[in-house]
C-alpha cells in the first residue's frame, strides 16, 4: 500500500468516528477534517513527508488552525480593503502544549511513522489521544476573539498586535483594543527587526481611527 493510502486509511480508522460525532467532516483530497463553530472554521490538516516511500516510510503530522470569514467581512467594512488573511491562528501539532510524542525503539518521535505494522497501533493510539484531548481543545480556544487576542499579546507575536486590537474591537472592548496597540508599540521599540515592516503603520492607523491619537 502506498504511503498516502496507508496514512489515510489509518487516520479514518482511528479518527473518523469520534471527529464526525463532533461535527467535523473529512476531505480526502485535502487530507483534512474541518468543522464550523459559530463564525469560525476549524481545520486539522495532515501533512505527509516528501521522503515517504512504499514499504520504507509512512510519516505524517498534523497542522491545526482556525479561520473566520467574519473577520474578513468586518475588516473590509472597517478599512475598505481585504485583510492579508483571515486566520485566527495555527500551529504544527508538536508545538501545542501537552502534545505527547510517540515512542519508537525507545526514542520520542516528533512526527508519526506508521510503516511498521507492529508499531502502528501504538503510534495511532497516541496520535488519536493527542487530537481528541489536546488538538480539539486547542482549536476551541482559538475559536474566540478575546481568547485569541489575549494569547497574541501574551506570546508577543510580532506583527499581530494590530490583529489582536481588531479582535477586541469586534467584541466592543475598546480598553483592551488600546492595550493591544500599546503593547504592539512596546514590542516594536524592543524588537524592531522582529516585527513585520508594516506593523507600526497598522498600529498607528488604528490609534488614529479609534482613539484619535
pLDDT of residue 53: 97
Q: For 65-79, give the DSSP string.
A: EEE-HHHHHHHHHHH
pLDDT of residue 101: 93
> Which residues lie closer than 8 Å to 205 by C-beta, 6 or more apart?
79, 162
Reduced to 3 states (helix: H, G, I; strand: E, B; else coil), residue 42 is: strand
pLDDT tens profile 88-114: 999 999 999 999 999 988 889 999 999
Q: Across residues 21-26, what is the average pLDDT?
A: 98
Q: Across residues 17-38, what is the average pLDDT?
A: 97
Map out the domains of the chain as residue ranges: 3-67+88-142, 145-211
pLDDT tens profile 75-89: 999 999 999 899 999
Q: How many helices (H) and strands (E) does the chain have?
A: 8, 8
How many other CB atoms are there within 10 angstroms of residue 100's CB atom?
A: 13
pLDDT at 191 over 90: no
CA 113/CA 183 separation, integer angstroms = 42
- Percent of the chain with pLDDT strictly greater than 90: 85
- Of residues 166 and 192, more confidently modeled: 166
Please, are residues 61 and 92 in contact by the beta-carbon 8 Å criterion?
Answer: yes
Reduced to 3 states (helix: H, G, I; strand: E, B; else coil), residue 51 is: coil
pLDDT of residue 68: 98
pLDDT of residue 195: 60
pLDDT of residue 104: 87
Amino acid at each position: 500500500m502506498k504511503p498516502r493510502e496507508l496514512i489515510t486509511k489509518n487516520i479514518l480508522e482511528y479518527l473518523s468516528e469520534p471527529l464526525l460525532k463532533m461535527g467535523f467532516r473529512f476531505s480526502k483530497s485535502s487530507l483534512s477534517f474541518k468543522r464550523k463553530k459559530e463564525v469560525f472554521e476549524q481545520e486539522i490538516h495532515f501533512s505527509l513527508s516528501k521522503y515517504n516511500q512504499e514499504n520504507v516510510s509512512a510519516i505524517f503530522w498534523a497542522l491545526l488552525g482556525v479561520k473566520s470569514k467574519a473577520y474578513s467581512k468586518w475588516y473590509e467594512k472597517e478599512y475598505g480593503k481585504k485583510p492579508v488573511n483571515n486566520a485566527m491562528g495555527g500551529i504544527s501539532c508538536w508545538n501545542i502544549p501537552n502534545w505527547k510524542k510517540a515512542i519508537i525503539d525507545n526514542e520520542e518521535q516528533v512526527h508519526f511513522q506508521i510503516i511498521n505494522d507492529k508499531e502502528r497501533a501504538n503510534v495511532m493510539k497516541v496520535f488519536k489521544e493527542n487530537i481528541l484531548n489536546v488538538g480539539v481543545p486547542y482549536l476551541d480556544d482559538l475559536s474566540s476573539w478575546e481568547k485569541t487576542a489575549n494569547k497574541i499579546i501574551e506570546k508577543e507575536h510580532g506583527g499581530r498586535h494590530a490583529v489582536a486590537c481588531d479582535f477586541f474591537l469586534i467584541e466592543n472592548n475598546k480598553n483592551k483594543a488600546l492595550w493591544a496597540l500599546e503593547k504592539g508599540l512596546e514590542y516594536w521599540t524592543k524588537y524592531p527587526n522582529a516585527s513585520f515592516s508594516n506593523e507600526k503603520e497598522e498600529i498607528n492607523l488604528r490609534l488614529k481611527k479609534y482613539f484619535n491619537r
